[in-house]
Amino acid sequence: MTHEHRIAMLIDADNSPADMIDEVLDELAKEGVINIRRAYGNWKSSHLNAWAALLHDYAIQPIQQFDYTKGKNATDAAMIIDAMDLLYMKQLDGFGIVSSDSDFTPLVMRLRANGLKIYGFGEQKTPKPFVNACNKFLYLESLRRPEEGAVLDPAEAAPLKSAEQKNGAPSPTRASAATLRGDTRLVNLLRKAVEAAADDEGWAGLGAVGQHISKQASFDSRNYGYAKLSGLFQAIGLFDVRTHGKGLQVRDKRAARE
């Protein structure tokens, strides 16, 4: 019998948009069963009305946390204490942390040290230490679905001439080739992953490359505006991409010149 991964979802309601709960649950459901669902905040505050309106529909347990001291975030402390209790009292495989607050970085590192997978969700403003600490982090903006009937700018709506056309629609906020190539950390990550999985001719299966990346970094191509990893490799312009059998292979263009 296949073991279903058990995940606890903890939401910092003070620092997370309520209208993205569908997308968060959809992503976490791909990783396992969300057995525990909790949202933290001062539920007496009108600031959380949007969250309060949907708690029952999504079976999310509200955890009341009063603002004991002005300027201090008591919600963060409550979430951290609960997470540590769950770590030792429940047999969990992972946590979904929904917040844009870097205060959870030490917690994430502690949970990962115990062998749990951490899936983070936050807005673009989320500090990098928290993003990088997670096994996988997704920016909520990259998950936002276009409203029905919304009209995109012609330049944004132009289709990509790549394998991504077959695998899913690109995000209208996708990063340009120049922006991607200017991201030194991204370039090094992709090149090292390809090198690790490459054959004698420098070609590496895209699946193996993706697996290598997931083992060492918090990464998702959608954070750069590309629905599939293949689209990101084509867009950055530093790699050759080809169809091989039933899959795709990539190769660093520098290897082709050697």
Same domain, 16 and 122: yes
> Could you give the C-alpha distances from 45 to 13, 34, 88, in angstroms and in order?
11, 27, 32
Rounded Cα distance between 101 and 106, Å, is 12
Same domain, 122 and 195: no
The CATH code of the domain that includes 99 is 3.40.50.1010
Q: Which residues of the chain have pLDDT under 50?
A: 71-72, 147-172
Same domain, 97 and 204: no
- Cβ neighbors of 43 (< 8 A, separation 6 or more) are 52, 62, 64
Whether 1 is covered by a domain: the verdict is no
Question: Into how many domains does the chain fold?
Answer: 2
Strands 94-98 and 117-122: parallel
Whether 12 is covered by a domain: the verdict is yes
- Cβ neighbors of 242 (< 8 A, separation 6 or more) are 203, 248, 249, 251
Same domain, 21 and 97: yes
Same domain, 137 and 19: yes
Q: Length of the chain in residues, anyone?
A: 258
Q: How confident is the model at residue 65, as a pLDDT?
A: 84
Of 30, 162, 17, nearest to 99 (Cα)? 17
The residue from 84, 116, 143 where one domain ends is 143
Q: How confident is the model at residue 144, as a pLDDT?
A: 81
Same domain, 70 and 128: yes
Same domain, 118 and 183: no
The residue from 143, 165, 189 where one domain ends is 143
Of 40, 53, 44, nearest to 10 (Cα)? 40
Whether 243 is covered by a domain: the verdict is yes
Whether 149 is covered by a domain: the verdict is no
- Domain membership of residue 233 as a residue range: 154-257
Q: How confident is the model at residue 218, as a pLDDT?
A: 85
Half-sphere exposure for 149 (CA within 13 Å, toward CB): 0
The residue from 109, 143, 177 where one domain ends is 143
Q: How confident is the model at residue 2, as a pLDDT?
A: 61
Same domain, 161 and 238: yes
Same domain, 51 and 125: yes
Q: How confident is the model at residue 145, as a pLDDT?
A: 64
Q: How confident is the model at residue 68, as a pLDDT?
A: 58
Q: How confident is the model at residue 171, as a pLDDT?
A: 43
- Cβ neighbors of 151 (< 8 A, separation 6 or more) are none
Q: How confident is the model at residue 214, as a pLDDT?
A: 85
**Overall pTM surpassing 0.85 (yes/no):** no
End-to-end CA distance of the chain: 49
pLDDT digits (tens, 9 = 90+) for 52-72: 999 999 999 999 988 755 544
Rounded Cα distance between 84 and 116, Å, is 12
Same domain, 68 and 180: no
